[in-house]
Amino acid sequence: MAVDMVQKTLECFEKVYGDSKGAKVYFAPGRVNLIGEHTDYNGGHVFPCALSIGTYAAVRPRKDGKLFLYSGNIPDKGVTESRLGDFRPLKEDSWTGYPKGVMWAFDKQGMKMERGLDIAFYGNIPNGSGLSSSASLEVLTGYFLRDLYGFDVSNVELALIGQDCENNYNGMNCGIMDQFASAMGKAGNAIFLDTATLEYKYAPLDLRGLEIIITNTNKKHKLVGSAYNDRRRESEEALKQLKAVPALSGIKALGELSNEDFDKYAEAISDPVVRKRARHAVYENNRTIEAVAVLERGEIARFGELMNQSHVSLRDDYEVSCPELDVLAEEAWKIPGCLGARMTGGGFGGCTVSIVKEEAAEEFQKKVGDAYREKIGYDCSFYTPGIGGGPREEA
């Protein structure tokens, strides 16, 4: 599939720039998060993995200072032209705000692009699926800029630059998980990341006899950014009120609390809604730590139970699920060969992730698919993309 995608990306490039002589092709992956949702801006842990699907780019340096951007996924928008050094965020940026924002972030740090570029992007992450197509676009851009201009940055720094672009150029106040998973992905492994320190370790996913199935609600979601930013504000408010408790005055993030400590002091949070939000952040973080420990011991059934609990907490306490995601999770829980299922990513639409016994995969897709159509009125889609590596230049 990768070879095919490289070919298609080059064809996109040729369509708009004439020929592809001297163009290099690069790739960066999307991600799925197995557990640890809405913990990354609360100083907690996450457990995502990079996918074998993602975004490709064919890139060729120019002799002048012009920058041309094109996406084979949105051909109607045509080619956008801008100039190096002129990276102000514009209303009409739309998807180009991601590559331009990454260039802006490099520029801000004194890493200047000397010559312009002709770029054609082409990706195979389904649109709006919540599998981090924007993070893959950011990491991809950082990766080829580093390669073409010799910028001295590590992959972790590429992730941070991607987050800077997202937060400060595109106005989405996300955490570090998506960009980190894309920049640091390793085939066959999930990444156990402590977002408070950026310490991480790889956890091999020994899924013999099991499959990771991603199910897309195909819901077109809107206003995700504003609801997301609201949750961030509520988490900050909860932290502020907890820090007013003398015993907790030293904490820097909700991710530092045990469930017991939280339960003991929860009443210090005056608003019950804000209290629920904080309970999710604390419990989800501790659930994630436990999930990785049980996975290491091979207790996959317990891992699945924790995934289910994560969904319930996101649905009831954090309130970032939606009827479409709930139907997918609840129908998945009914299948005996499904060990665990939960919404993944920011929520309000996008996908669920499920761990399913291989022999039950067909039944899973049939039963969940039929129930979804009946209850929601249109089809969901299933993907089994596999756990891939991080960004790379294609041969």
Of the candidates 23, 113, 119, 174, which one interacts with ligand GLA according to CB under 6 A?
174
How far, in Å, CA of 91 to CA of 315, rounded?
A: 33
Give the range of 98-106, 172-180, 234-242, 374-382 binding ligand GLA by CB under 6 A: 172-180
Residue 38 is a binding residue for ligand GLA (CB under 6 A): yes
Residue 183 binds ligand GLA, judged by CB under 6 A: no
Please pick, among 164, 178, 194, 317, the residue that the annotation labels catalytic: 178
Left (φ > 0), alpha (ψ -120 to 50) or beta: where does 388 sit?
beta
Distance of closest approach, residue 125 Cβ to ligand GLA, in angstroms:
13
- Does residue 342 touch ligand GLA according to CB under 6 A? no
Nearer to ligand GLA, 80 or 310 (CB): 310
The tokens describing 101, both together, are 């924002």
Three-state DSSP class for 213? strand
Q: Which of 93, 118, 164, 178 binds ligand GLA (CB under 6 A)?
A: 178
76: annotated active-site residue? no
Query: Least distance to ligand GLA from the beta carbon of 251, Å?
Result: 20
Part of the chain binding ligand GLA (CB under 6 A), chosen from 145-153, 170-178, 290-298, 303-311: 170-178
Choose one: 169-177, 334-342, 357-365, 373-381; the region binding ligand GLA (CB under 6 A). Answer: 169-177
Query: What is the three-class DSSP state of 352?
Result: strand
**345 belongs to the binding site for ligand GLA (CB under 6 A):** yes
Label residues 84-111 b or e (16+ Cβ within 10 Å = b). beebeeeeebebbbbbbbbbbbbeeeeb
Binding segment for ligand GLA among 58-66, 139-147, 175-183, 196-204 (CB under 6 A)?
175-183
Indicate the residue among 29 and 345 with the shorter CB distance to ligand GLA: 345
6, 37, 60, 372: which one binds ligand GLA (CB under 6 A): 37
Nearer to ligand GLA, 72 or 142 (CB): 142
Smallest separation, CB 318 to ligand GLA (Å) = 9
* Part of the chain binding ligand GLA (CB under 6 A), chosen from 9-17, 37-45, 82-90, 270-278: 37-45
Let me know: does 274 contact 266? Beta carbons within 8 Å.
no
CB 283 within 8 A of CB 262: yes
Instruction: Give the binding-site size for ligand GLA (rule: CB under 6 A).
Output: 10
Question: What DSSP letter does each residue of 53-72 carry, written as one string?
Answer: EEEEEEEEE-SSSEEEEEET
Q: Is 175 in the site for ligand GLA (CB under 6 A)?
A: yes
Strands (E), the chain: 24-33, 45-46, 48-61, 66-71, 80-83, 117-123, 189-194, 199-204, 210-216, 338-344, 351-357, 381-383, 392-393
The upper half-sphere exposure of residue 74, i.e. CA atoms within 13 Å in the direction of its Cβ, equals: 14
121: how many CB neighbours lie within 10 A of its CB?
27
Smallest gap from Cβ 164 to ligand GLA, in A, equals 13
Count of residues for the chain?
A: 395
Nearest to 338 by CA among 371, 311, 367, 304: 304
Provide the angle, in degrees to the nearest 10, between the axes of the packed helices 155-164 and 97-108: 110
Go through 333-350 and write b for each residue having 16 or more CB atoms within 10 A of its CB, e for each that does not.
Answer: bebebbbbbbbbbbbbbb
By the rule CB under 6 A, 164 interacts with ligand GLA: no
Of 52 and 133, which has the nearer Cβ to ligand GLA?
133
DSSP per-residue string spanning 163-188: HHIIIIIS-----SHHHHHHHH--TT
- Judged by CB under 6 A, the stretch of 38-46, 105-113, 181-189, 262-270 that binds ligand GLA is 38-46
Complex with ligand GLA: residue 38 or 277, whichever CB lies closer: 38
Residue located via tokens 């995502």 = 48
Q: Does position 125 bind ligand GLA by CB under 6 A?
A: no
- Residue 142 in the binding site for ligand GLA (CB under 6 A): no
Cβ-contact 314, 38 below 8 angstroms: yes
Confirm or reject binding of residue 177 to ligand GLA (CB under 6 A): yes
Q: Name which position in 28, 29, 40, 361 contacts ligand GLA (CB under 6 A).
A: 40
Q: Which residues are near ligand GLA by CB under 6 A?
A: 37-38, 40-41, 174-175, 177-178, 345-346
Residue positions annotated with a catalytic role: 178
